[in-house]
Every structure is written in C-alpha cells, then in structure tokens.
Structure 1
Amino acid sequence: MKQLIFIFFFPALIFAQKTATVKGRITDRNNSPIENVAITYLSKGTTTDKNGNYEFSIPIRKTVTVTFSHVSFKTIVKKFTARGSKTFNFSPKLKSLDENLKEVIVKNRKKEAQGITKIETKQVKNLIGANAGVENVLMTLPGVSNNNELSTQYNVRGGNFDENLVYVNGIEIYRPFLIRSGQQEGLSFINPHMIQNINFSAGGFQAKYGDRLSSVLDITYRKPKNFGAQIDLSLLGGSITVEDSFLNNKLSAILGVRYRDNSLFVNSKQTEVNFRPQFTDVQTYLSYSLSEKLTLNFLSNFSLNDYNYKPLTRRTRFGTIANPLELIVFYQGQEQDQFKTLFGAFSADYVVNENLKLTGTISSFNTQEEEHFDIAAAYNIGEVDTNAGSENFGEVEFSQGIGSQINHARNDLDALINAIQLRATLKQGKNEWRAGIKYQKENIKDRINEWEVIDSLGFSVRPPHHSINEQPYEPFTGPIEPYQNVRARNNIDIQRVSGFAQVSRKTFINNHQIWMNFGVRAHYWNVTANSQASQNHVVFSPRAQIAIKPDWESDLLFRISGGWYAQPPFYKELRDYDGQIHPEVKAQQSIHIVAGNDYSFNLWNRPFKLTTEMYYKNLTDVNAYSIDNVRIRYRADNATKAYAYGLDVRLNGEFVPGSDSWISFGYLKTEENIDNRGYIARPTDQRIKFGVLFQDYVPNLPDLKAYLNIVYNTGLPGGAPAYSDVYEFQNRLNDYKRADLGVSYVLTDINKPVSNGFLSQFKEFTIGLELFNIFDVRNSITNTWVRDAYSKRQYGIPNFMTGRVLNVKLGMKF
C-alpha cells in the first residue's frame, strides 16, 4: 500500500527521452496551405513551408505555449503538455483578418464578464461520482451543494431544487414531479456524451434566461462532422453514443442510449432490500442545413424509470457514545413506481444577414408518473448495553419505544407542457440586442391518495392537530383516523406569456475594457384549478451586469450584477401539504446582488485563475417548504420572507501540468421568517462548503491517471415531524464528508495507436476502477421520525446514505 501511494503522489522522474514532437499542416478555410506562418515557442521559432507543413520539438513534463501568427490571418495560441515521448498532430485552419477581430476579443472574455463558469466537457467525462455527469461537476463548485449522492438535484446559494433553470440547446428542461427519493431518479436528462458546451451561472444572470431565483445551467449538444461511436460499461449500467454526418455534412445526427442500475449503492445502505430498478433513456439530436441561412434542428428524449423496491429489514445505531440507541425495523410490502417522460423540440435558425439572426422553437414535454406503495413496518427502539464486561455487550437491553406503522400511496400524475417561442439577436456596431417572446400552456392532472397509520402497543396514534387523546390513560371513543391523510384530485390549466429584451455593449474608457448588459423580463400567467374561477398574475424583472477589465499589468476582471428576480409558481408550488391547489399564490421575488473578481496569473509557469464572488438576496412573498430526501412540499401561502448572503471562492489551474484541477470554498447563511414569528434557518442553510477536484497522472507512466473528488459540507437542518411546529425542531444533521477516487489506464488512444490485434479496432480503449466514499463515512440526508404512544417521545433517526462501493468501468471509442 505504501508503495502504491508513493507511485501516485511522489512519482519518480524517469524518462526514456527528453522531448516530444509537434507537427502538422496549417491551412485556410478553403483548405489551401499557408506558407510562412510564424511559430514561436520557448523563445524559439520556426515557419511553415510552401505546403503549410511544420515540425518542432518541445520538452516533456512542461506546458509549452505555442503561437501561430501571420500578417493576413488571425493569431491562434495553443498549449501542449507532453507526458512522454509522443507526437502531437495539430493542423489548425486560420481565419483571415477581415472577419471582425474585435468580436473575437469580446468573446474571449465575454463569459467571465457575465459571471458564467465554463466547464470543460473532459472534466464531466473524467470526474468520479455516484451520479457521474454535469451535475456531479457542479457539486464541486462553491455555492452548489447536495448531500444526496443518489440524486442529481442541487441547491445553489440557499435556493432549493426547484429554483434552478436547465437549458439544452436553448430549450428549458423539466424533471419529474412525484419523485421523493434520490434513488428513484435514475438518470439526469443531460447526456454527458452528447455535450459540446457547458455554461453555469450561480446568480445574477441575464434577462434572456427564464424566471427562477437561483441558477442557470446552459447546455449545448454538439453537431458532429464525422462518424464516431462510444460505449461505456460499468457495474452501474452502460451507454452507447453514435454520431455521424450525411448529405455532404448538411445533416448531422447524434444518438445516445443509456441504462442505469443503482442497486450497487442501495445494497450498501443499512436497509436490506430486494431492489429491481430499470432506468432507461434514449436521446436524439438532428441538425440539417437547408441553406446557408436556414438550419433546422430536432431534439427528442424518451426516458422510463421502473422502480421496484421491497424493504426487508433495517438496523440503525444512533445517539451518543454514553447513550447509544438502536432502531430495528422489520418490513412487509413493497413500492412500485414508474416515471415515463417524453420530450420533443423542433427549432429553426434563420440568419437574415450577418447582423440579424432569428430562432423559433416549438416544444412539448409529457410526464406520466405512478407512485404506488403499501409498506408496513414494525419497529423497536432500544438502549444498547455499553458495559464491556457484560455478556450482552453491544446488544439491545431495554426497549424505549415499540410500535408499527403502515404507509399507503396511490398517486398518479399526468403533465403536458407545450411551448412556442421566438428569439432574435441583432448586432449594431458595439451593441448586441436580444429579444424574445414565449407562450406556454400547462395541463396537470393529479390524483393524490396517501395515508399513514401509526400504532404503538395496540393504540392508534391520532394526528396531533385533532382533539386531545389521552390514551392509554383514558378511553377514547372517537373514530380511528390516519396520522397523515392526503386525498385530492386536481386538474390544473396554466397559460403563460413571457418575454424579454436586453442590450449588451463592450467599450473602452482610457484603455480600460468595459462590458455592460441591461435587460428586463415580463411574465404573465393565468391559473385555472378544478374548473374554478381563474387567477391572473404579472411580474417584471429588470436585470443588469457591468464588468471592467482595467488596463493594469495584472490580469484582473471586476464585475457586479443583479436585479429583481421573480419565480412564478409551478404546479408543485400551488399545492399545499393537504394536496389542495391555491391559484392565488404569487411569484416569489428576490433582490439579488452579486459582486465578483477574476484574477488570472501564472504559478510554476502554469496558468491559474482565482475567482471570488460575494452575494446577497432579499426574498419576499416566499413560499416556505419542507424537504424529505428530494421531495419538496410547499405551504402555498406566500407568508414568509427570507434572506441569503455568502462568499464563494475558487482557485483552478494546472496543479499538475496538463490537467486542470480546482479547490473551492463557500460560506452561506440563509434564514426565513414565517408569519412574522422570527427568523430560523431555512432547510438549505448549509454554512460551509469545501470541494476539491484533482486530476493527476504518473509522469513515467502517463497513461495511468487518477481523479479525486472531495466534498465537505456542514450539516443541514434536520427537518421536523409531520404536523409539528418547525420552530421547535432546529437541530442539524451531521456534517457531510465524502471522497471518491478513480484510477484509469489508457490502452490505446490518438497518442498511443495500436496497429494490430484486438485494440487496433478502437480509437480509444480505457479501463478503470472507481472507489466511492473512500473512508466509508456514514452521511445522512434526513431524519426518520419515530414515536410511541407510551412515552410520547419523537426520535429523529438519521437516514444514512451509501457506504464504500467499488465499481469497474470500460470505455471504448470507435
């Protein structure tokens, strides 16, 4: 073991050769060779010959910046890091200088000026996590947190899961409504093998993005130019991605199929189960260039989650060292859920001229969800014998609570969301105008039938908000009622019209670069519930961003953004704890201010960037809620006000040459005041966040790579039992600590081709091991509240997440 650690973290400096080769052919957009392109690197230089060819050598284990320049073409800069004696083939196409050089400069800093984090797709591919994908990378960023490794949902700067916008190719994406447990989610909508670009904003985003309070994740799927196929297999499932172009590159197509099975994680938890999940997802993205001006696109998705869950037993130890307790539960019954989602979107991009572009989109989303379960549990809470000399040491010696409960649900939901939108982009000199309008119609049919009966020592525990029950001391003659009972049938129609207009401008003041964006959104919606009188609402949302890059020797960028953000209610926000719909619920609103700074510098002759942001939110008309695993239940009354403020810091760069890693830190405080009773912690009040994403390789064996993902979050509020006063339950869960390690070995790729044998059939073939939760930390996400009629005590028993799990994976590209 010591030798293995030494290999990973203190590799020997052993090399067969000291240099690597870079060569290629430089051409213009018409594939014509460019002669006399100046190539400079490490105070050296060379030029291309009459055929555009070049070749030079660089040292290994060092990042070398190479500049390709020509008086008639735009300069490009490329970084090379040789991990061994290899040959790099780099054949760029240079663009002529008459293609508006200033616009290229604006784009280089544009994302930073907007406060948008650009995430490399290779980081999504390599990062280790229980739910590998884009969301897994987000959770290593400051201000983004999630204590449930089985869920792809995340909280941003004090917001909840429902406050995050997700776009794929400019189309808003929705998630299922009834899911209450992270292990039911299966697959995120976003297929990481189809992605071209990933942009993320944790707040202060532009008016062009929709009406949510917390964040924006903007994904672009790629348009392939050549054939490619990728297969990934592991003990958690697999995926196949196939792509190609047709009709002289006019038609591009990419197809992704995924399968997921979370039983490997569920079987590592403290509840023994029979678990048969089937999570399947099929996505297609087509793009056809009808002409130079008109492009047609089609995006579709079909997903099916069959979740069959049969708990058998559970044994959980909790309490303190001095007073340990143990919960033992025996189950009968099962849960059978199904979540079927269908999504399709057709869009058209029309370039009127070089300054005006129009985009029209028609989309439809349908989700059909069934949540059916009957589960009976008999439980015993007992004191554990802590006397080391006792024959019963470590066993339960006295029962503090004995009881049983039955949970029943027959919940069905069918939601259909249709939308049509038109967007325009106009460039006028230094100004870029954007505007759009969208009409959306939602229909949700929902049947809720769920109840819970609690019994202890033969006495049914009645709901605490009903009449006084003095059992077992006094007989009670009233009817037996479930402890919880929710029955409702809802048919809701919501119509929305929203639009935005914004202008961006980049200018200079005394050689200082200034970038500005001003915009406003408007949102009108009409709610009709169960054929009752409809309710009309309107909100406006002005937003602004200003960034300045001073003409200083240090590379610094300062920015400030914010505005009045609003989140009109979706279906879940209109429904209260009893399942009743409240069309009068208003939009939650927030005054949001973000101030940030980017500092780019070189360390160890390698590029680094330090990003710092401070933020403040003042929230009004808040719709307070409770969280149970990933299910959010709203009060639907706008009777709360809240605030959030914090600091996010991230340092990213090449801690190891050629591999981008980062360290992040976040501080957050968010509280709410319900019915003017005073401020208490919100369910997402996670004060401290620390994350590390680290990539490394063995210098004398560069094909052996390691990836480390570390997350530390301080404890969240532990919630409260049903029907209880949340002001009386302000205890917190334990801190969340998790480390995942992955090791992969490249058998063949573009830098390590194999000419014969089995591996010659692949463009890339990798094998890997993933060790989740290295230190086997028992993290909890929520409490299970157990009580009995005799003591009338309620015990908050932590629901622990997954333990240490080993996974094997294969990756193949053709």
Structure 2
Amino acid sequence: MMIRLFTWSLFFLVSTSGAMLAQETAWVRGTITDSLDQAIELANVSILGRQEGTMTGADGTFQIRVPSGRSFTLVVSCVGFRTEQFNVRLQAGETEERRIILKHDIRSLQEVSVSARQERASTFRRINIEELNYMPTTTGKVEAIIKSQAGVSSSNELSSQYSVRGGNFDENLVYVNDIEIYRPFLVRSGEQEGLSFINSDLVSSVKFSAGGYDARYGDKMSSALDITYKKPVQFAGSGSLSLLGASAHVEGSSRTQRFTYLAGYRYKTTSYLLNTLQTKGDYKPQFSDFQALLSYRFTRKLEISFLGNYSSNKYRFIPSETDVEFGTKDLPLNLKIYYEGQEVDRFDTYLGSLSLQYRPLQSVSLKFTGSAFRTSEQETFDILGQYWINELDNTIQSETYGDSILNVGVGTMLSHARNYLDAIVVTTSHLGSYQTDHNRLQWGFTFKYQDFYDRIREWELLDSSGYVLPDLENRIEMLEFRQSEQRIAYGHFSGFIQNTLEINSPKADFFITTGLRGTRWDYNRTLMVSPRITLSVQPFWERDMMFHLSAGYYFQPPFYKEMRRPDGSINEDIRPQRSIHLLVGGDYIFSMWDRPFKLSAEAYHKWLDDLIPYKIENVRLSYAGENISSGFARGIDFKLNGEFVHGAESWMTLSLLQTREDVEGDFAYTFDGKDYVRTEAGEFPRPTDQLFTFGLYFQDYFPNNPDYKVHLNAFYGTGLPLSSPHAEQYFTKLRMKPYRRVDIGFSKVIKRETDQYGDRNPLRVFKSIWISGEIFNLLGIRNVASYLWIRTISDQQGIPGRFAVPNYLTGRRFNVKLSVQF
C-alpha cells in the first residue's frame, strides 16, 4: 500500500542563457497537485519558448528563476495530466507563490506515475475531497462521503458511524497521518455523539478500503480509512457558519518553507435537529474541538511534526413528553409518556502525537512516531417516565376515529445510570519504505499500551399497573441491573513487512503485493500471524481496465468493549476474532459524452470465526463478552462515478449483502404440525445484515450559470434485524423498516477565486465565498433508530404484554450555511 510521504523539496537550478543572466530576475515557486490535492512528482515547469525549466520534487514543490519586467508564459505539464499555462509578470527581485492544480487527462491514464498505478492496483480507492464542502450532511463531511461508498451503509443520520460489508463500526480502522484514531466508548445514541476526529478543513487526501487491505493496516476485520492532513506552502484559511455550528481553520508556512502550521476549530450543536424527535424536551448538546498540526524541517532529510487534538462533547437533556402512534392498520396504538429528571453526559478526549521523519536517500523513508490518547467519559441520568398505551379507533366513519377507545397498559419506568470510564492508549511506532521504479518495500513495528478504568452502575425499574417487573413476592428486584468496577491494562505489539512488485510484459502489467503481519496480544498471550496478498493485472486493451484478486487472514484482538460481559464483568479468557477475506474485482475507466467515467465492481466472501456476538441499540453495541459465534459475510458492490454533468462529479452505488452467524445456545421454536418445538437456532442474520443498499450523490448547475449548483444525496437500505435488548439470546426473525433518506443542498457562489475586486471592496481579501441552503430529510420520511420496549402486566383483548415502540429519527429541517476561503 502506498504511504503518502511528507518530504521536503529538491530544487534544480537551471542554467540560463547569457541574455537571461544579463538582466535582473525574479522567482516563481509553489506546489503542484492533482484535483484530489495529492502532490505530483516530476511535473515539468518551464517558460514558453525557452529551454529553461525545472521539475517538482516528491512533495510537488518547485522553484524556477524567471525574467522580470515583462510578461511571459509559464507552462506546467506532466504525463497523465492536462497541460496548463499561466501568464506571469514580476518585478525585479519579486517572488510569487503559486498553487497549481492539474486535471487528469482521461486519454493518458495508462501513462500515469508508478505510485498512482500501484495505488489503483490495490484495494484502496482515493476519494475526491473536492466534494467535502458541498455534500449536505448532519455529521462529519468525510464520514458522509464514506457512507456514500459501495459496501458502506449507515441507518442513523445523527451518527458518523458506518457499517462495511456486514461488520460493525468497531471493526473499522481509521488513521490520520499514520496515527490510529479512537473515539469515546460510552456513547449509546446518536444524540450524544459529537464531532468525529477528522476535521475536513484540514484534509489533504482520503483513501478507503472496504476489505482485503494490505498487511500495513491492522488489526481490525472490516475496513481501513487512511486520512492525510495538508502540508501548507502559503498562508490560507477558511470559515463556515450555519444553524448547526461553525468552523474555522488557518494554514501557512515560513518564508523558507521550513516551518508549517495547520490548525482548525469546530463547534457543533444539534438542538435544531433534535427538536424534531418524538421525545420532546430541552436538548442542550454542545460539541467542540481544536486540532493543530505543526512541522519543522531541520534539513532536506530530517523533519519533525506534532499533531494535537482536544475534543469536548457535552450533552444535557431534560425530557418532557413522548407522544407516538405505532402498531398496525388493524391494531393502531398510541403511547404517551410524561417524564421527570434529566440526562447529563460528557466525553472529553485528548490526543498528542510527535513524529520524526528521516529520508537518508531519495528512495528511503524512515518515520518514528509516539502518540498518546486519553478519554474521560461520564454518562449520568435519572429519568422517571409515566406511560399510557391506548388502542385507537380505526373505524373510518366513526365519530371517534383516531381517538383512544381502550387503555391497554399503564405504568411507570425509572432509569438510573452512573457510568464512568477513563482510558489511556500510548503508542510508539516505526514505518519504513524503500522505493524503486518497479518495487516498493514497506515495513513497520508498533507497540501499544492500553489502560482502562471503568465504573458502571445502571438499573431500570418497571411498575406496571401496581405490579413490579419482575414480580417477586417479598422484595423488589430491578428489571435490568448492572454494577461493576474494572481496571485492566495490557500491551499489544505488532509488526509487518510487505512488498509491491510491478512486472511489465508485452501484453499486460502485473502488480503483486505480498505481506505478512504478526501481532502479540499480551492480555492472554496470544500470537497472531496474518498473511495477505493482492494480485492485479492491467491488460493492454483498447479499453482501460484493471482486475484484482485479494486474500488475507485478519485478526481483531478484543478492545475493552468486546471483553466486557453484559453484567459488566471481564472475560479473562476471551480470544481475538478471526476473519478470512477473499475478494475479486476490477474497474473500467472510459469516456462518455467526452467526459471521464469509472465503473467499479467487487465481489467478496468473508469467513468469520471466534466471533463475539452483540446487539445494537441505537448506536451502542452490547457485546456478549464470549467467543460463542461463527459465521460469514458475502456480497457484491458496484459503483459508477463520473461527470454526468460537465465539470461536476457524481456517483451511484449498489450493494448486495448477506451475513449470517451461528451463536452457541441460541434456540428457536418451530411448529411440527401439532405443537411448537424448541430447536437450535442455527444460522441467522447478524445485526448488520442489510440485504440491499443503493446510494446516489448527484451534482448539477444552472445552464450557462455554474455559480448556482444543486447537490443531492440519497440512500436506501433494507431493514436491519431487530432484537430486544432484554432478551437473553441473539437469535431473531424480526426486521426494522427500510432506511430511506434524501438530503438536498443548493449553493450560490458569491465570489470565485478568479474574480478581481478593487482595493476598496471588502470582498477582495477572500479567495472564494459561497452560501448554501440545505434541506435534510427532504421527503420527511420517519426512519427508525431503535425501539423502546414497553412491558405491561395486563393482556387485554389478546394484546401481548410487550410492545416495541419505534424511536423515530429526525424530521425535515432546513439549514443555511455561509462559507469563505481566504
């Protein structure tokens, strides 16, 4: 897998003619990137009509001496990209900074650089970050684009969590600048979830793999997201303000380019959205974070950088009432709950990382990193709810149509929690690489120390019509009760080596990536060895196609959540979960309507063993804490992206998935013709078994006026399996309703980067300005996040004593946002 290297520039001074030397000169310097903000190496920079020129270094930087006092044309070209020309006029001794973006030439894609070819041959896909500023979303911008990828699904617009090919969010790897990222552990609902770590204003590149990734990435079983932050070359910044919060960032470098800085602040509040939920009350969420990336280049071979982050997520909620209708057409019901009490949560996270990169040779890179992550979390609530369940009159011509005609149940529920968690993860790592024209060798070592201190005390009491559940004659017992105090600490050592080899033949180019990953988990002294391989071939056909086959062994040592049983105790004999990935796929790059398009497809099968089964309640995963399950996941993903409208990239995805598991001890009742008989449950759908998903992101603009744009984001996913959190087993035949959502955004460019204003116009200080209007949940669809399980003693009219009341997600909302870049 290609690792983006932070390097320093090599400047080549080109001898000039006698006429050039006889006059005073000026300088042009800067950075050349592609449309994904990736540095372009070996791009040619020259003066039109002259032989003088230079080439960019590995980080895309260049510097060229130019004539002063007159106009000339600067020509920038590179194989696989469209040539660009710029008119320049400088005074003697003047230096101009330029940031140049080259667009891919669809007719020259077979001639792109070695690194780009090897990246295309891998299971990773680079995502166009140009769309980050425009996609309508209620969560993080990067996560919103990840959710729109093939094989990825999410059924909660309040959460940045996502599921990949049948796995849960805890099975996904997230890296920022080669640092593994963690998130708070106690979050149980999308309402509590604040800002994700990734600040889109700071992002330079996004790479994502939905499976079959290389030995460099581990140890998780589902996906890998690799984020690289910017390396500034000049001062710039941005800001945005909306009804959901605000953000700002600045970046820049010193005159000598030795010191660079990148910093961003974000504030988010979802009160505006949460007020559309069925549970009314006083929502007071406040989420903020600050990140900074500082780097200093001592020499052309040595550089040091620091990445720091502080995040504060506060959530306070004072519920007042819930009024929701549910049931069926034949049996319509209504639930009313009146509340007392409140919930107060706080999740504070800290991250600090120091990296030293040394490049003794142009082809060798050595990186050493030390990082520390700390989280301090508290979840506290005391909420009393008095509820009434009534049957509604469903006779259309009745005078009481829609009114309550029968009380089905009445009762009181009391929920209490005092949950606290403090955790520290300290990591030291080394990454190295050696690059030649047709070969790339990578290696790395990582040691992690993890320390968790967890205090749990939560219970639920249910009093239905004077009867306490469970019904015990001489004492009151809680319906649900958990209390524990645990402190665990352990080490985790891993290492890998992998090699990517390119073989050129007269009929095709072949890419072979082989790797071996080893992990030692000290908690129960487990040694894991993971071989992985990816084979790719690009035949020399008229059509630009590439095919790949990937296989690998993946282990996932339990993190703290997986180790904890439902009662709060720790399983000291727990084992890592295991998965074998096998996938085959390919892509086809073509031109249609004289515009670039790409069609990708990938089929996969994953064998799963030593699984730790879990239940999903909203966004909280409650694990069994035991390796008592095995299963599989298989499916196929398609993605078509390109310029359906000239100059605006859009895409659509389609995924088919089946994932099953067999949990020891789970049972089902089957009818044998006379009676219901208890039998083993066998294989049944896992909680993430979403059979069919379809996603669409479409952009358009007004004819002859591209300053007015529209951005449509739509998703459909079939219903997920549904099980009661109070049930002792994981088997279920029930499913939730399909998740359907359409968000749309309209944007108007107020100032383009190329617009020129007079000295007195205040807009001249901004590079670009645009305003957006967004409509979330355009169709007003009532999607379900989870279910509230209500129990009653009475069983009137044959109605069961347990009701699954849907907990609906957010309704339609309008948002306005102002964004500037300078």
TM-score (norm 2): 0.86
- Cα shift readout 1:327-350 (whole Å, capped 9, x = no counterpart): 111111100000000100000110
Aligned to 1:500: 496
- The unaligned stretches of length 5 or more in structure 2 are 1-27, 31-41, 53-65, 85-96, 103-108, 666-679
Separation (CA, whole Å) in 1 of partners of 2:787 and 2:171: 24
Aligned to 1:595: 584
- Cα 1:747–1:386 change in 2 (3 A) is same
Aligned to 1:85: none
Tell me how far 1:742 sits from its aligned partner: 0.3
Letter in 1 for 2:506: N
Separation (CA, whole Å) in 2 of partners of 1:730 and 1:401: 26
CA-based RMSD:
2.5
Letter in 2 for 1:739: V
2:383 to 375, 388, 391: 375
- Cα shift readout 1:578-608 (whole Å, capped 9, x = no counterpart): 0000121111001111111101111111110
- Cα 1:502–1:656 change in 2 (3 A) is same
Asked if the contact 1:748/1:754 (under 8 Å) is kept, the reply is no
2:477 to 471, 481, 484: 481
Identity value in percent = 39
Aligned to 1:722: 726
- Cα shift readout 1:227-264 (whole Å, capped 9, x = no counterpart): 11211000000001011112511111011000000111
Aligned to 1:158: 166
Q: Which moved more, 1:779-788 or 1:384-393?
A: 384-393
Alignment of 1:218 with 2:254, yes or no, is no
Q: Which has the higher contact order (CA 8 A, sep 6+)?
A: 1
Secondary structure (helix, strand or coil) at the match of 1:577 reads coil
Alignment of 1:660 with 2:649, yes or no, is yes
Aligned to 2:328: 320
Q: Which moved more, 1:746-755 or 1:694-703?
A: 746-755
Asked if the contact 1:558/1:598 (under 8 Å) is kept, the reply is yes
Alignment of 1:129 with 2:137, yes or no, is yes
Aligned to 1:451: 459
Separation (CA, whole Å) in 2 of partners of 1:741 and 1:265: 16
2:740 to 737, 749, 764: 737
Tell me how far 1:637 sits from its aligned partner: 1.1
1:644 to 633, 640, 643: 633
Asked if the contact 2:699/2:709 (under 8 Å) is kept, the reply is yes
Alignment of 1:33 with 2:37, yes or no, is no
Tell me how far 1:110 sits from its aligned partner: 2.2
TM-score (norm 1): 0.87
Tell me how far 1:92 sits from its aligned partner: 5.6
Letter in 1 for 2:476: I
1:293 to 301, 307, 310: 301
Tell me how far 1:798 sits from its aligned partner: 1.2
Letter in 1 for 2:788: T
Tell me how far 1:29 sits from its aligned partner: 8.4
Letter in 2 for 1:35: G
- Cα shift readout 1:85-106 (whole Å, capped 9, x = no counterpart): xxxx998699xxxxxx999622
Asked if the contact 1:68/1:77 (under 8 Å) is kept, the reply is no
Aligned to 2:239: 231
- Cα 1:31–1:514 change in 2 (3 A) is closer
Separation (CA, whole Å) in 2 of partners of 1:30 and 1:131: 40
Aligned to 2:676: none
Aligned to 2:531: 542
Letter in 2 for 1:706: V
Aligned to 1:793: 801
Letter in 1 for 2:268: R
Tell me how far 1:53 sits from its aligned partner: 4.0
Q: Give 1:543-692 correspondences, 5 Å limit.
A: 543-675=532-664, 677=680, 678-692=682-696
Aligned to 1:430: 438
Secondary structure (helix, strand or coil) at the match of 2:714 reads strand
2:708 to 704, 709, 718: 704
Aligned to 1:19: none
- Cα 1:26–1:177 change in 2 (3 A) is closer
Secondary structure (helix, strand or coil) at the match of 2:441 reads strand
Secondary structure (helix, strand or coil) at the match of 1:125 reads coil
Secondary structure (helix, strand or coil) at the match of 1:210 reads coil
- Cα 1:322–1:280 change in 2 (3 A) is same
Separation (CA, whole Å) in 1 of partners of 2:250 and 2:201: 10
Letter in 2 for 1:630: V
Alignment of 1:359 with 2:367, yes or no, is yes
- The unaligned stretches of length 5 or more in structure 1 are 1-24, 39-48, 56-66, 81-88, 95-100, 463-468, 470-475, 528-534
Letter in 1 for 2:729: D
Letter in 1 for 2:376: Q
Aligned to 1:15: none
Secondary structure (helix, strand or coil) at the match of 2:277 reads coil
Aligned to 1:7: none
Tell me how far 1:31 sits from its aligned partner: 7.2
Tell me how far 1:400 sits from its aligned partner: 1.3
Secondary structure (helix, strand or coil) at the match of 2:763 reads helix
Asked if the contact 2:79/2:111 (under 8 Å) is kept, the reply is no
Secondary structure (helix, strand or coil) at the match of 1:754 reads coil
1:513 to 509, 512, 524: 509
Separation (CA, whole Å) in 2 of partners of 1:260 and 1:654: 33
Asked if the contact 1:68/1:75 (under 8 Å) is kept, the reply is no
Tell me how far 1:765 sits from its aligned partner: 1.3
Separation (CA, whole Å) in 2 of partners of 1:79 and 1:455: 75
Separation (CA, whole Å) in 1 of partners of 2:235 and 2:437: 40
Asked if the contact 2:532/2:553 (under 8 Å) is kept, the reply is yes
- Cα shift readout 1:628-667 (whole Å, capped 9, x = no counterpart): 1111111111110010000100000000000110010000
Asked if the contact 1:29/1:93 (under 8 Å) is kept, the reply is no
Letter in 1 for 2:812: R
Q: Which moved more, 1:622-631 or 1:127-136?
A: 127-136
Tell me how far 1:304 sits from its aligned partner: 0.4
Letter in 2 for 1:585: I
Asked if the contact 1:753/1:763 (under 8 Å) is kept, the reply is no
Secondary structure (helix, strand or coil) at the match of 2:772 reads strand
1:274 to 282, 305, 317: 282
Asked if the contact 1:34/1:52 (under 8 Å) is kept, the reply is no
Secondary structure (helix, strand or coil) at the match of 2:215 reads coil
- Cα shift readout 1:12-67 (whole Å, capped 9, x = no counterpart): xxxxxxxxxxxxx99998976353699xxxxxxxxxx9989459xxxxxxxxxxx9
Tell me how far 1:180 sits from its aligned partner: 0.5
Separation (CA, whole Å) in 2 of partners of 1:91 and 1:285: 20
Separation (CA, whole Å) in 2 of partners of 1:754 and 1:301: 37
Separation (CA, whole Å) in 2 of partners of 1:132 and 1:177: 18
2:519 to 518, 523, 526: 523
1:411 to 408, 419, 430: 419
Separation (CA, whole Å) in 1 of partners of 2:229 and 2:210: 21
Aligned to 1:98: none
Tell me how far 1:758 sits from its aligned partner: 3.4
Asked if the contact 2:614/2:730 (under 8 Å) is kept, the reply is no
- Cα 1:103–1:212 change in 2 (3 A) is farther
Separation (CA, whole Å) in 1 of partners of 2:277 and 2:664: 39
Letter in 2 for 1:223: K
Separation (CA, whole Å) in 2 of partners of 1:279 and 1:225: 31
Aligned to 1:473: none
Tell me how far 1:385 sits from its aligned partner: 1.2
- Cα 1:360–1:239 change in 2 (3 A) is same
Asked if the contact 2:434/2:442 (under 8 Å) is kept, the reply is yes
Secondary structure (helix, strand or coil) at the match of 1:135 reads helix
Secondary structure (helix, strand or coil) at the match of 1:295 reads strand
Separation (CA, whole Å) in 1 of partners of 2:504 and 2:683: 45
Asked if the contact 2:701/2:709 (under 8 Å) is kept, the reply is yes
Separation (CA, whole Å) in 1 of partners of 2:492 and 2:150: 34
Asked if the contact 2:140/2:195 (under 8 Å) is kept, the reply is no
